[in-house]
Structure 1
Amino acid sequence: MADPVPFLPVAAGSQPPLDQPSYISTRRRHPDAAPLRIPATLTEASAPRFEPRWYAPQADLSITEGKAALGERIIVTGRVTDENGRAVSNAMVEVWQANAAGRYAHARDAHDAPLDPNFSGRGRIFTDADGRYAFVSIRPGAYPWRNPGPGWRPMHIHFGLHGAGAAQRLITQMYFPGDPLLAFDAIFQGSGDEDARQRLVAALDPAVGRDDWALGYRFDIVLRGRAATPFETA
């Protein structure tokens, strides 16, 4: 029998706090009491089954019904692994983002930037046997929000990773290198220590991009352990 692989705990200070004064929304939605451990039911632990046959993949956000979205086309790829570098295969990865003008295709987005009829801003992909995923999209624009600083959020893409059950979901954000708004963004700056924050910044990778078609970015996600990607908890 093989020796057990040690579990690496999350490093102190590497995950976002539940209550962050500079991020105004956390004041209203963070818990005031310690969490209670409630045993998971069989349904919560094993259902629903997130499989391509039930949840159709949508790996190209840059085109809708044959019509191209406006903006700079990008390719994003990476691996999803555990703390020991082992691949997390067949995981459903959802992504959502603003369009090139910085507006979401959502009824509650009141930003006066234009909507793009050919961009929904939503996609879904599954990791392969090596834990790799990839999708095509449009580089999102910055948008205004009511928090300290310049009052604009940096360019980012939201990621939602699903496990084997409905209660197994982790959410994070991917940022772009060189964005000056990162220095002022309450969410990014509150996402753990400096090393942790840098794990949220994708790397521009010429090997991922396609000449005369799209820039490529690499964004690896580690689910737990000392080098875990910072995840949203509030």
Structure 2
Amino acid sequence: MTETDSRVEMISPLMHPAFGPRIPTKELYELPPDWFHVGSGPVYGRVDVDPDDNNLLNKGDGPPLGVRIKLHGRVIDSDGEPVPGTLIEIWQANAGGLYLDEYCDRPWLPTDPNFFGTGRTLTDENGDYVFHTIKPSGYAGPAGSGMWRAPHVHFSFFGPNLSNRLITACYFENDPLNETDFVYAQQKYEHDRDKMIARVEDVGLDGTYLQLVYRWDVVLRGPGATPMDVE
């Protein structure tokens, strides 16, 4: 056993035969100073965020498959104050459970040529955000594990610069896979798991399509902070 393996065993209860250690096992990498952008707000890769970047429904030649959802909420700090100008990025599976990613090792799942599964936006002056997307499917866990992942959307929140980052995910209320999802269940306390649940606010139409409206508010820091959740 190496020194790193011993350290992981001693300090991490988050071990699982299918997922391995869920903490860093290597030394931290110090980013070069010129990688950070200093200015009035976060700019990832120095590429402006367009108003339509939060709409994942219109990036293909036709409509994507799946139930349309409007996922919105508010980003606040530990005092309940809004955090405007926060860069939010999301990524998710399609309606068949497949990520459009070269590292997604489930080639038997159906692709959707009209859904790319990524989006981004900036919170407004009230800390509000919105994404228009489809509800992702759950999918099987690692081969041989017998586990299933619940439907979820990954979120990344950047603070005033790229060194301030919260990576988490939101799950959907009343989904039967939530309680058996290993990653979701790693949150030991029910009140922490509850902070990761998006709740149905309305059901209506987006043009001729059925649309579910989910609300998910996020607290960036403090005792009530939304837990980190990294797959």
Q: Which TM-score band (shorter chain)?
A: 0.7 to 0.9
Flag the structure with more relative contact order, 1 or 2, with Cα contacts below 8 A and sequence separation at least 6: 1
Q: Where does 1:59-208 land on structure 2 (aligned, <5 Å)? A: 59-111=54-106, 112-146=108-142, 150-206=146-202
The RMSD of aligned alpha carbons is 3.1
- Give the residue type in structure 2 aligned to 1:178: N
Deviates more, 1:139-148 or 1:114-123: 139-148
Q: 2:12, 2:68 → 1: CA distance?
A: 35
**Which structure 1 residue ranges, 5 or more long, are not aligned?**
1-16
Higher share in helix: 2
Q: Which amino acid aligns with 1:70?
A: L
5+ residue gaps, structure 2: 1-10
Aligned equivalent of 1:6: none
Task: Check conservation: 2:49, 2:122, Cα contact below 8 A.
Answer: no
Matches of 2:71 and 2:22, distance apart in 1: 33
Q: Indicate the residue corresponding to 1:54 in structure 2.
A: 48
Q: Which amino acid in structure 2 is aligned with residue 226 of structure 1?
A: P
Aligned mates of 1:45, 1:125 — CA distance in 2? 17
Q: How many angstroms does 1:232 deviate by?
A: 3.5
User: Share of identical aligned residues, percent?
Assistant: 31
How far 1:50 sits from its partner (Å)? 2.4
| 2:3 paired residue number | none
* Cα displacement (A) at 1:197: 0.4
Q: How many residues align?
A: 214
Instruction: Report if aligned partners of 1:60, 1:123 keep a CA contact under 8 Å in 2.
Output: yes
AA aligned to 1:80 is V
Structure-2 change in CA distance of 1:195 and 1:104 (3 Å)? same
Q: Residues 164-202 of structure 1: CA distance to partner in whole angstroms, max 9, x if unpaired? A: 212111100000111111111111111241100011011
- Counterpart residue number, 1:210: 204
**Cross-structure match for 2:225:** 228
CA shift digits 1:200-228 (9 cap, x unpaired):
0111101xx43353110000000111211
Q: TM-score, normalised by structure 1?
A: 0.80
| Cα distance change, pair 23–56 in 1 and its aligned pair in 2 (3 A) | farther
Q: Structure 1 residues 105, 42: closer, same or farther in 2, change over 3 A?
A: closer
